[in-house]
Structure formats: C-alpha cells, structure tokens
Amino acid sequence: MTTAPAQAGWRFKQPSVIPGFGLTLGFSLAYLTLIILIPLSGLIWRSAALGWTDFWAIAVDRRTLNALETSFGTAFIAAVVNVVFGTLVAWVLVRYRFPGRRIVDAMVDLPFALPTAVAGIALTTLYAPNGWIGKLLMPLGLKVAYTPLGIVIALIFIGLPFVVRTVQPIMEEIDKEVEEAAATLGANRFQIITRVLFPGLAPAIITGFSLAFARGVGEYGSVIFIAGNLPYKSEIAPLLIVIRLEEYNYPAATAIAAIMLALSFLMLLVVNLVQTWSRKRYG
Amino acid sequence: MEVRVANVRKEFERFPALHDVSLDIKSGELIALLGPSGSGKTTLLRLIAGLERPTKGAIFFGDEDASQKSIQERNVGFVFQHYALFRHMTVADNIGFGLKVRHGPTRPPAVEIRRRATELLDLVQLSGLEKRYPAQLSGGQRQRVALARAMAIEPKVLLLDEPFGALDAQVRRELRRWLREIHDATGHTTVFVTHDQEEALELADRVVVMSQGRIEQVGTADDIYDRPNSPFVYGFIGESSSLPVKVDNGEIWLADRPIGLAAPDAPSGEATLYFRPHDVELLDGCSGCIAGTVAASRRVAGTRRVELEIGGERQRVEIELPVDHPAAQKSRVAFRPGRWKLFPTANSA
C-alpha cells in the first residue's frame, strides 16, 4: 500500500484461484475476431484491391475530404456540446429531488431507443424554415435544417444519453463530505466545482465524450434527413459511402470506410491514453 | 478561541435532533462529545462548523456571533470520519488547498504554501510523502493528512467527527496519543466526537456526555466516572449494575430487607440503586447486605465476573470477585456496594 508496485515490462495478469482464465480469454478473443476483426479486415482487404494510387486519389478527392471534415467536425462539436449539457443534466438528476425526476431520467434514454430516422424526420420538421423552431430562427438569419448546423443538432440529440449515462453513476458516488471539507477550508461554490468536483469527474466525462463522438461520426439515419446532403457542404462520410455503394463502386466505398476507420481508431486511442493517464493520477 | 453554544435547538424536518443545548468551551481546551448514535453529538459538531444552521439559538466564537457567518468565513478546521481527502490531488496539494483558494492579499505565495505543507507534514509525521496521492496511503496516514489539511488554514477551532472511527484498534490507540501531543503542541481549541468512552475519557480535558439530543453531563474524566449525575451516564460510562429498591426513612430496602445502606437525604419511595461491579465489599454473613445465588460466572482478565440472581424476582446483577474466590455455581454470595448512587425511579430515563 505504501509503495507503488514495480512494473517490469509486460506481464500476463496472474490468474486467480478461480479457474476459467484460459477459457474466458480464448472465448473473448474468438468472439471479438468473429464480430469485429473479420468484418473490418474484409473492409481493409476490399479497399486494398484498389491499389495505392487509386486509393490515394479517392482519399484526397475534394468531395471525400469535405465529407470527412463534415463528419468529424460536426461529431466533435456535438460531443463538446453534449459534454457540457449532458454533465449538467446528470448533475440535476443526481443532486436534486423534484416531481417528475424519474420521467426526465427515463427521457434521457429515448435517443437510444428511438429509430434514428424518426428522430431525423422529427428534427427536420421542427428546424425546417417553416417548422416551429426554424420559423423563429429564420428572422435571425439562422438556417439550421439542410446545413452542417442541422447535422450538429441531430448528433447532439443522438449523443446526449452517452454522456449522461457515463457521468451519472460517478457523480452519484461523490462523497458529500468532500464538498463539505472544501467549504470548511474556505472554497466557494465555484472553486468547489472547478477544483474538487470536476477533476474527479474528468475520466467519466472523457469516456462520455468519446462515446458520443464515436457515435456521432458513424451516425447515418437521423443526419441524412436534416443535412440536406449537399456535396462539398453538408454531406457526411457515411452518406458518401452509401452513394458509392449505390453506384456499385465498392472499392471507393470501402476506401472511404477504411479512412474513417483509421481516423476513428486513432482518436479513440488518444482518448483512451488520456483516460489511462487520468485514472493513474486520480487512482 | 472560546466557543459558546447558547441555547441551540436543531430540528430536521420537525424532528428535533438537539433540544436547547448550551455549552461553554474554553480557549485551548480539548473537548470530547460522547454519546450513543442518535444522541446529537455529530449534529452539535456540524452546527459549530456551520455545516448546519441552528433552528434556534446561536453559536459564538469569542464575542462574535458565528451563526451569522457562512462556513467559508468561520475558519474552522473539520476532520471527517472517512477522511474526505481530495483524491485527485497529491498530499501536498490537499494540505495547501485551504490556502490556495484564498483571494487577493490573504493568499500566501506558492512557495510559502509549499513550505507550510512540508512543515505540517513534519508535524503529523509524514515527511517525504508530499507527492503521494491519497489512494497510496493507509487509513491512519490519510487521517493524518486530513488533520494537517484542517490545520493549514490556522483554524479558530479544530473539529473532528469520529476521527478514528474507521481505523483498527491498534492504529487508533496510537493516533489517540499522537492527537493529544499535537494538541498540546499547537494549542488549538479542539472538539471531537466519539462513541468510544475509553477514547473520550483518556484524551479529553472535559467530556460532554450526550443522550437523545440533550447534554447529560459535562465534566472531567473523574467527574464523569466517579460522580455520574444521571442514570444514563451511570449506565453509559463504564460498567454498572442496578437494582430496584425502596427508600424508607432514609434506609434502603431491597424487597423486604434493609441492605445496610443509609440515604438520609433521599425522598421515600421507589428508586434504583446503581453501583460499579468492581466496587463492592464481600461479606460473610448477611444482615444488612445484598445476597444472591451465582447464575453465571466468567473470567475477565484479572478478575472473575459473576452474575447473581437476587431475591424472589431473580433480579440479575453483575459483580466482580477475586479469581481465587470459592464462589462456584449456585453458591450464595453476599456483598454491599462500596460507592453507589440512588436515582428516584419516577425521574429515571
């Protein structure tokens, strides 16, 4: 307890007295291979059939680049917004008792359950220039539907539960005494939140962010209704893949998919590293 | 800093947790609030800290009415049972926290804060652990860090809520002695809550015994142990045995016999006799004594503790016998309490 364990390189975790280490590890690896690895390597293999020059030509194509930029950019903005407001929603749900709290709590999960197309159509109806909300925003010169802004809104809708549901349980574990201790030491409300509560929540918030972000990058159903899908402007990468598929241009489709895969993997890896670092620090 | 609790009442959703409690704490004193769970001792401590607001009454720090001030302004050091350390901060950052959150000219420069943290770590005998995180410390070490953190702000009063409650017996005894040393060295006015009477009696200058939201008795360890002023204190502090008796003309009667104790000032009527099991005089014959048959007997450290059944109603009392006393099962033992106290039954709790 008083000395940090000396870690000498990589080592298998010592199996415990409970048997089943070999069996469970073997099963997990086989399962992951079947479900994730084989389909993904199929993807790489198909796009590899393209040859390096063709692949590169598709990768640096203006339309592809714009689609990727739209997808990752909107997903990032939506995830940031979700982190702020999702944490706030989690805070309200954890900290306060008010009539209807259970209903609000259940409502948070709706984006999980609702078919994404339904969400997309509903949001489009609301934010279209003649829709309830779109009508109010129009005079302010804000056009939401059929622009990247619309995509962001759809992704905020889709990603909210990821943040709330990852932050909420950690928030519930926060000891009230820690806040009281900070208060007796002279910290005001703002200092307690920024210096004591938030750092403790950071790992959960980062997880919520990466989940919402990953989901946003891959989202298709809700976005295509509200995006307007103008090439070079509001066309997302998953849509471009579908378009290529419909043109029977499978190599191009898989090439874009492979690029998305690589980018997503890279970003999730970075998030995971940040995660590990913060876990190590905060124990 | 003197602390005065003046007629404080505290209700939680109309349920009274404290009834009209008053207490004077002298500057530099080490005070224990002792009582069973639900006696209001923690509530009283939290009221002094400002973590709760009194329903009625006021709390004074010196001449200032502290109940008008927020927790932040009160400048009290509070130590929680479960440490409540900031787990994302190093030990040094934990200790320096109270100084770092200050504003403007009251905030010492970073170098000074670090120096102070090191100094306090020396005081709590944890030198060299500045860079550790709380998760890397043992329970006893964490509680020392919590104390150092509380002392860093130079509090007017140091308040400890069952500070050793979560630690094992060995560490507890050690920390108890150490807390006494720290108190003597720094001279902070200190109030701590405990349900462990040994801890309270050993550590505190004065002990405040509480029960059901009221203060039963305030006094030194000697006062509390030798001169309990209520049946509750008699029963709660140390070992005690009791017997229902009758007072008639200044004589104490058990059933239909006098037991040879005179209580000239006690009013006639039903009463309860309290005495300590170890403070009895064993007698041979029985004229004017309490006699009973041994119902159970067990060896406790250096003595033998026997349970006696007294009289027709088989009232059970415990007394202590020397180990070599020949009292076996079913044999009769006669005794008379040495120091004892009588409480009229009508008023007893």
Give a three-class secondary structure readout of A35-82.
HHHHHHHHHHHHHHCCCHHHHHHHHCCHHHHHHHHHHHHHHHHHHHHH
Dist. CA B130–CA B90, nearest whole Å: 7
Chain A residue numbers with beta carbons less than 8 Å from the beta carbon of B116 are none
Do B136 and A1 lie within an 8 Å CB cutoff?
yes
- Chain A interface, mutation test: which of B48, B88, B168, most A Cβ atoms within 10 Å? B88
Quick one: pLDDT at residue B208?
95
Is the model more confident about A213 or about A19? Answer: A213
Do B71 and A183 lie within an 8 Å CB cutoff?
yes
Do B77 and A283 lie within an 8 Å CB cutoff?
no
Dist. CA B200–CA B209, nearest whole Å: 10
By Cβ distance, the residue of A1, A184, A282 closest to B49 is A184
Q: Measure in Å the smallest separation between the Cα of B77 and chain A Cα atoms.
A: 7
Chain A residue numbers with beta carbons less than 8 Å from the beta carbon of B71 are 180, 183-184
Apex CA A183: angle with CA A180 and CA A185, to 5°? 115
Dist. CA A181–CA A142, nearest whole Å: 47
Chain A residue numbers with beta carbons less than 8 Å from the beta carbon of B137 are 1-2
Q: Give per-residue pLDDT as tens, B164-203.
A: 888 888 888 888 888 898 899 888 999 999 988 888 998 9
Q: Give per-residue pLDDT as tens, A178-211.
A: 999 999 999 999 999 889 988 888 888 988 999 9
Quick one: pLDDT at residue A5?
47
* B140 and A CB contact within 8 Å: no
Q: Give per-residue pLDDT as tens, A35-54.
A: 989 988 888 888 888 888 88
Do A184 and B76 lie within an 8 Å CB cutoff?
yes
Do B75 and A188 lie within an 8 Å CB cutoff?
no
Quick one: pLDDT at residue A12?
65
Residue B8's beta-bridge partner residues?
Answer: B21
For chain A positions 3-42, those within 8 Å of chain B (CB to CB) are 4
Phi, psi (deg, nearest 5) at residue B327: -65, 110
Chain B residue numbers with beta carbons less than 8 Å from the beta carbon of A178 are 84-86
Do A177 and B133 lie within an 8 Å CB cutoff?
no
Is residue A13 scored above 80 in pLDDT? no
Q: Which of B165, B158, B95 has the alpha carbon at shortest distance from B126?
A: B95
* A283 and B CB contact within 8 Å: yes
Q: Are A121 and A113 in contact (CB under 8 A)?
A: no
Q: Give per-residue pLDDT as tens, A123-166.
A: 999 998 888 888 888 888 888 888 889 999 999 999 999 999 99
Is residue A3 scored above 50 in pLDDT? no
Q: Measure in Å the smallest separation between the Cα of B272 and chain A Cα atoms.
A: 43
Quick one: pLDDT at residue A267?
87
Dist. CA A191–CA A194, nearest whole Å: 5
Count of all residues that appear for chain B in the document: 349
Q: Give per-residue pLDDT as tens, A248-283.
A: 988 888 889 989 988 888 988 988 888 888 777 665
Do B84 and A178 lie within an 8 Å CB cutoff?
yes
By Cβ distance, the residue of A2, A183, A196 closest to B72 is A183
Chain B residue numbers with beta carbons less than 8 Å from the beta carbon of A182 are 86, 97, 101
Q: How many CB pairs under 8 A join A and B?
A: 83
Quick one: pLDDT at residue B315?
82
Q: Measure in Å the smallest separation between the Cα of B111 and chain A Cα atoms.
A: 19
Q: Measure in Å the smallest separation between the Cα of B173 and chain A Cα atoms.
A: 21
ipTM value of the model?
0.82
By Cβ distance, the residue of B74, B87, B135 closest to A200 is B87
Residue A14 CB neighbours (<10 A): 6
Tell me B299's DSSP state.
Answer: E
Dist. CA B20–CA B145, nearest whole Å: 35
Phi-psi region of B184 (alpha: psi -120 to 50; beta: other; left: phi over 0): alpha
Q: Which residues neighbour B46 within 8 Å (Cβ) at sequence distance 6 or greater?
A: B52, B161
For chain B positions 73-92, those within 8 Å of chain A (CB to CB) are 74-78, 80, 82, 84-89
Quick one: pLDDT at residue A159?
93
Q: Give per-residue pLDDT as tens, A79-95.
A: 999 999 999 999 999 98
pTM for this prediction? 0.77
Q: Are B325 and B280 in contact (CB under 8 A)?
A: no
* A178 and B CB contact within 8 Å: yes
Dist. CA A64–CA A235, nearest whole Å: 9
Dist. CA A125–CA A222, nearest whole Å: 12
Quick one: pLDDT at residue B330?
67
Chain B residue numbers with beta carbons less than 8 Å from the beta carbon of A282 are 87-88, 133
Which residues in chain B show pLDDT less than 70?
A: 327-330, 346-349
Do B51 and A180 lie within an 8 Å CB cutoff?
yes
Do A184 and B74 lie within an 8 Å CB cutoff?
yes
* B49 and A CB contact within 8 Å: yes
By Cβ distance, the residue of B49, B82, B87 closest to A283 is B87
* A173 and B CB contact within 8 Å: no
Q: Measure in Å the smallest separation between the Cα of B198 and chain A Cα atoms.
A: 26
Is the model more confident about B311 or about A33? Answer: A33
Closest residue on chain B to A278 (Cα) = B88
Chain A residue numbers with beta carbons less than 8 Å from the beta carbon of B153 are 185-186
Quick one: pLDDT at residue A138?
83
Q: Which of B306, B275, B303, B274 has the alpha carbon at shortest distance from B292?
A: B306
Quick one: pLDDT at residue B349?
39
Closest residue on chain B to A196 (Cα) = B86
By Cβ distance, the residue of B77, B80, B137 closest to A177 is B80
Dist. CA B344–CA B305, nearest whole Å: 27
